[in-house]
Structure 1
Amino acid sequence: MNFASDNIVGASAPVLQALVQANSGALPAYGNDEITKRVKARFADIFEHEVAVHLVTTGTAANALALASAVPPWGLCVCHQEGHVIDDECGAPEFFMHGAKLVGLPGVGGKLAADDVASYLKSLPKAVKQMPPKALSISQVTECGLVYSLDEIKALGAVCREHGLSFHMDGARFVNALVSLDCTPAEMTWKQGVDILSFGATKNGCLMAEAIVVFNPALAEALDYRAKRAGQVVSKGRIISAQFEGYFADDHWYANARHANRMAKLLSEGLSGIPGVRLGWPTQANEVFPIVPKAIDQALKATGAHYHAWTDVSLPADERVGPDEALIRLVTSFATTEAEVRQVVDIARSALSRQAAE
């Protein structure tokens, strides 16, 4: 039972099949092949918008290069204090922004509220000693498993326009959010004011395939050079693009995400139905954050289950993790089975039954 993340499993069959097919024969290098051209055109169709697309190998590269295109070395990027870009990238965004900095704001469930962002921006002194804000970055899905609604994204987009900020979305679990909201990619991005997107696929069935999707042409000009300097212009570019071709074919990416989200819902419902277990945040995509008695945490670990303890920083103000409790994160993927979900729930229920009998 491994619920540590959705990047621990390999690639799905259609992605591997597309990769094997693309491997045969000789094709032009550095993204000049027909597969890459088709995939880039497919991105434009998916988003109903002319886009610049840069295919990269990691989410860190996508985020760092996207933000570097939006923030000059003297600038500031606003994000959530637990956002992936500030908390999990080992300083890569700052490195590629050449001295620009990230500032993290609080928010329940990893979400930023438009009013809070606006208040912060208005509080900054307008002087050369203050780094000027140049971008806003949000995670969709957030680090606490929540999904920004279309209205919430729209409100943040309005704040960005009012204050002259570029709007970046870290979409490591992009399609999981789409499935949750039942909306189109366009509705979740540029129609709400998003300028640039880190489009994730590795967590949902690819081996290593991410994309920077640029809706605002002003941010696209230097990305070719930034990607090359970062070692992200891959000579055998078809190896990345072929993954996307298999990923998008027959809406395979949606099918994977629907399965992952459904497994998370089953897991969430099963665990929250156990007395003494409650959810730190609602389950809205493919991550479950239960607050469990330590007896359950210990029992799961004893059976070899893999998952992560989680921080309580972004819990609601009226929620606390007690001294005999643990807040944990369980992530489902396209490969998670119902049997694995039932096993976790059964172990948790049995642990409390044994504790009650002692």
Structure 2
Amino acid sequence: MVMKFLSDNAARVHPRVWEAMRAADTPDSPYDGDALSNLLDERFSALFGRDCAALWVATGTAANCLALSAMVEPHGAVICHREAHIEMDEGGAPGFYLHGAKLLLAGGEGAKITPEAVARIVDSIRDGVHQVQPHAISITQASEYGCVYRPEELAGLANFARGRGLGLHMDGARFANAAAFLGGDPALAAGLGGNAAGAAGGVDALSFGMVKNGGMSAEAIVFFDPAMADKVRFRRKRAGHLQSKGRYLAAQILAMLEGDLWLDNARAANAAAGEIAAAAGDRLLHPVEANEIFLTTTAVERLALRELGFEFYDWGEEAARLVTAWDSREDQVSALAKAIAAL
């Protein structure tokens, strides 16, 4: 039996998402003029406890790059971690969507960046036309190594960004997993102070991931400055992401938000990862705070796991990456945990 722990992108589409798409299969206005698309602003505003505007797109890459396009001019730059998805895994899409804007790379433990790391980059740049000027910061929640930014870390980055006149974007491909880890409040996970606090601050735009968490082909860009959304509507069309039957994308997103399905799915994935992490012991390379597990392993050990039927990615020569999902089977999770403990 093949047991897949390659990626949460390999997970099934949740049945409620399929049901919502079927229910949307009736005539309605094209593009984003349909009734479902027009509900997104209201639903995300209720979710985050403040006014926001939301647009659907088909991929996380488009979500990240279109969000950044509202903050970054072609002669500007985005500061991100050197392991950020926009740097390592988007095929040059940021440069394409931002018409040549640069990525400036920072370091940081667990693929997270700090205000100090960003300051070292910003302070090294001369003011003037001869050097690319930073326009925005992009962070990933949870990070590429499955580490979650705490509210105080987000507050520090938001304060730094505002003090330096920079936009702040969050790649939330696994935002749900981060929110689940932090207790379930999405506003807290976006650095907005929590739903009850009504605090300002936090990120300016969030790529709210759905596909890794039980969706099929829809991601949301959430703007906490609705004026940004008005700008990006035009750029979404120009980029080829204004789908003519947008109601099917909106239906997926609304189904995930309904009854906090997005959060329940993330909790299930996180719990599965936690079981595996508990069996891994001192093999863990990073704290397991979402649904990714990075382990030190030898080539022989990885081969042994694969011979038992487990699929996962090598992570360099001495490590493996394992990813759980909302639909990870309990028996397969337990089998993997036992196999790792027995290495």
TM-score in same-fold range (> 0.5)? yes
Q: Which runs of 4+ in 1 moved over 6 A?
A: none
The amino acid of 1:6's aligned partner reads D
Distance 1:42 1:245, change over 3 A: same
Moved more, 183-192 or 325-334: 183-192
Matched, 1:127 2:128: yes
Moved more, 286-295 or 1-10: 286-295
Matched, 1:343 2:320: no
In structure 2, the gaps of 5 or more residues are 193-200
Distance 1:216 1:38, change over 3 A: closer
Aligned to 2:196: none
Aligned to 2:38: 37
The aligned runs of 1:162-311 (5 Å cut-off) are 162-189=163-190, 191=192, 192-272=201-281, 278-311=283-316
Aligned to 1:330: 322
The amino acid of 2:62's aligned partner reads A
Aligned to 2:50: 49
Identity of aligned residues (%): 40
Q: CA deviation at 1:204?
A: 0.3
Q: CA deviation at 1:185?
A: 1.8
Determine the C-alpha separation between the residues in 2 that align with 1:74 and 1:349. Answer: 51
Determine the C-alpha separation between the residues in 1 that align with 2:15 and 2:134. Answer: 44
Instruction: String of CA shifts for 1:159-193, please: whole Å, max 9, x gaps.
Output: 10111100000000111000101152222326242
In structure 1, the gaps of 5 or more residues are 312-324, 353-358
2:279–2:340: 8 Å Cα contact kept in structure 1? no
Aligned to 1:22: 24
Aligned to 1:97: 98
Aligned length: 333
2:141–2:173: 8 Å Cα contact kept in structure 1? yes
Instruction: String of CA shifts for 1:39-66, please: whole Å, max 9, x gaps.
Output: 3310111111211211001001101111
What SS does structure 2 have at the residue aligned with 1:34?
coil
Q: CA deviation at 1:19?
A: 1.1
Q: CA deviation at 1:91?
A: 0.7
Determine the C-alpha separation between the residues in 2 that align with 1:54 and 1:149. Answer: 26
Q: CA deviation at 1:349?
A: 4.1
2:179–2:188: 8 Å Cα contact kept in structure 1? no
The aligned runs of 1:313-324 (5 Å cut-off) are none
Tell me the TM-score normalized by structure 1.
0.90
1:15–1:243: 8 Å Cα contact kept in structure 2? yes
Instruction: String of CA shifts for 1:263-307, please: whole Å, max 9, x gaps.
Output: 0000110222xxxx5100010011111112443211012233211
Determine the C-alpha separation between the residues in 1 that align with 2:258 and 2:230. Answer: 29
Q: CA deviation at 1:121?
A: 1.0
Determine the C-alpha separation between the residues in 1 that align with 2:228 and 2:257. Answer: 25
Q: CA deviation at 1:218?
A: 4.4
Determine the C-alpha separation between the residues in 2 that align with 1:107 and 1:132. Answer: 21
Determine the C-alpha separation between the residues in 1 that align with 2:90 and 2:180. Answer: 26
Aligned to 1:118: 119
Determine the C-alpha separation between the residues in 2 that align with 1:258 and 1:309. Answer: 25
Instruction: String of CA shifts for 1:18-50, please: whole Å, max 9, x gaps.
Output: 111111x21111111111222331011111121
Return the index of the structure with the highest Cα Rg: 1
Aligned to 1:356: none
Determine the C-alpha separation between the residues in 2 that align with 1:28 and 1:13. Answer: 25
Aligned to 1:320: none
Distance 1:349 1:190, change over 3 A: closer
Moved more, 138-147 or 34-43: 34-43
1:76–1:101: 8 Å Cα contact kept in structure 2? yes
Q: CA deviation at 1:3?
A: 0.6
Determine the C-alpha separation between the residues in 2 that align with 1:221 and 1:348. Answer: 50
The amino acid of 1:283's aligned partner reads V
Aligned-residue Cα RMSD (Å) equals: 1.5
Aligned to 1:152: 153
2:273–2:290: 8 Å Cα contact kept in structure 1? yes
2:175–2:189: 8 Å Cα contact kept in structure 1? no
